[in-house]
Amino acid sequence: MTLTPGTRLGQYELLEQLGAGGMGAVYKAHDPTLQRTVAIKVLHEESRSQETGVRMSSARLLQEARAASALDHPNICTVYEVGEHEGQHFIVMAYVEGKPLSALIPADGLPPESVIRYGTQIADALAHAHARGIVHRDLKSQNVVITPEGRAKVLDFGLAARMPQADAEAVTKTQEAIPHAGMLVGTLAYMAPEVLRGEAATARSDIWALGVLLYEMASGRLPFAGDTAFDVAAAIAKDAPSPVSSRVPVGFRAIVQHCLAKAPRERYAQVGEVRAALEAIQSDTAVAQPAGVRPAGTTRTWRMVGATAGLVVVAGVIGYWLRPEPQTAASGVPRLANPVQITSAVGIERGVAWSPDGQMLAYESDQTGNWDIWVAQPGGSPPVNRTADHAGADRSPAWSPDGRQIAFLSDRDNAGDVFVMSPLGGTPRKVGAFSAAADFLLWLNGGSELAALVNPEGPDVIAEILTVRTGELRRVALPGRTANRIELRWSPDERHVAYADANSWNAQVKQLWLLQARDGTATALSDGMTEDGSPSWSPD
């Protein structure tokens, strides 16, 4: 069926073609019934003509458009209905006046206030969709329209076609082997590494694409470039992104770097965390100020934004609070009590573990391009990388009860390997291995055992306990309603285990559970109707 201005698809009259992508063409159209202008996305003829393409593409189009039609958010383009006319499937959406974000980004990037405003709105749209089980899968600057009022509208939720397995495998081989390369390049620059490997897109894949978009808005270019599709794919899979413009603050760079972590589990757990970090940078008073102190002005520049980011973005720095009691300003808003900045490196710093005497801390950081264990002494010498000998991932540091060793997880031999080392340096020593990839490492039984969550992203997540002297493993089942367990915390007397039960790391709903370690019985501590996570035991 040839589509030209004046062609009718059901009740709709096509007015003009607005654009085309890998899955379909978009037209401006008129709805005579409701007397309104709409946008209509029509499946490409060439996509429909491929073997089994009609059935798979149309079924997916119907299914996902219906899912996307449930989204009702000011930053999401509304889907009105799905239709079919003479075998041609189409989706009717709201017609959004404005310009694509891609057309508004200058060579040196947008002004900082625009980057933060649009980034926050886009993150808000993603959070709304993720909470309803919908992943975008094709977020890019061309799929965001900026209205004349300055509002970002995200298009095509859930409608982007996932790269076929054959295409994903070809991208990792040679340029000549890429089927339909021209169809892939449009979105290739925004694809997460796991999607390029042929894995299903997830909410964390959207977070990667949001990181690319933030980078693009701030710098006017994409973080991963190349002359061919193969070059771009190789850069995404292996290379660190080229530096963002030096005029952006450390805090903003930390947000982007966190979004662009190669491993999905190393990114933000939820897109709402990205939104919160952006809002913190946006606010002149993100860290509450003492009573009587007024901001010097309201004009936002990257210089001013950078001054606040060093205090409020946890991914960029680690703070040491000298007084445990939070102070409250005259307004009643809690504020930090005498924070002292310990680190200032660009990158993500997390997994903080304090030594038993409280004089040193260990943490994991990706500031060198891979995850390492760093040790710092507040008020002392600068932090030191204690696992620089390994080019892979070293994570989840845990101090031994006597403070003489730090245990950590490493992929030096296998994903579940456990090593120990002196906090003062030296060659790490392997003491055993969990049966699969693990997280939330901690010591038990006076330092004779190590425990961790194994396979924390499911489907068979358990707690494993490793006897350090013999390497023997024993398993502890963690009951729950879903396939995932996260945030493992043992009680100080080691008789109970608290953990969170959730459908995924991105879940908006989590349920807290308490396990009796001796008999394996478990009790739900929360109703599972809200996001209840991050359990922590008091010393007693």
**Which residues are annotated as catalytic?**
138
Token code pair at residue 535: 């359990």
Distance CA 418, CA 412 (A): 9
Preceding amide of 459 cis, omega within 30: yes
Q: 519, exposed or middle or buried, with CB in 10 Å at 0-12, 13-18, 19+? A: exposed
Residue 171: what residue type? Answer: V
**φ, ψ (nearest 5 deg) of residue 279:** -65, -35
Contact, 193 vs 205, CB < 8 A?
Answer: no
Q: What is the DSSP letter of 245?
A: P
Beta strands per DSSP E along 346-505: 349-354, 361-365, 372-376, 384-385, 394-399, 406-410, 417-421, 429-433, 438-444, 449-454, 462-467, 473-476, 484-490, 496-502
Burial 302-338 (b: 16+ CB within 10 A, else e): bebbbebbbbbbbbbbbbbeeeeeeeeeeeeeebeee
Q: What DSSP assignment string belongs to 279-311?
A: HHHH-TTSSPPPTT---S-S---HHHHHHHHHH
Token code pair at residue 384: 């030191």
Between the two ends of the chain, the Cα-to-Cα distance in Å is 74
Q: 361, exposed or middle or buried, with CB in 10 Å at 0-12, 13-18, 19+? A: buried
The total number of residues shown for the chain amounts to: 540
Token code pair at residue 217: 């808005």
Token code pair at residue 459: 């489907």
CA neighbor of 156 nearest in space, from 141, 143, 142: 143
Distance CA 109, CA 388 (A): 35
Enumerate the H helices of 134-228 as residue ranges.
Answer: 165-171, 181-188, 193-196, 203-219
Distance CA 224, CA 65 (A): 31
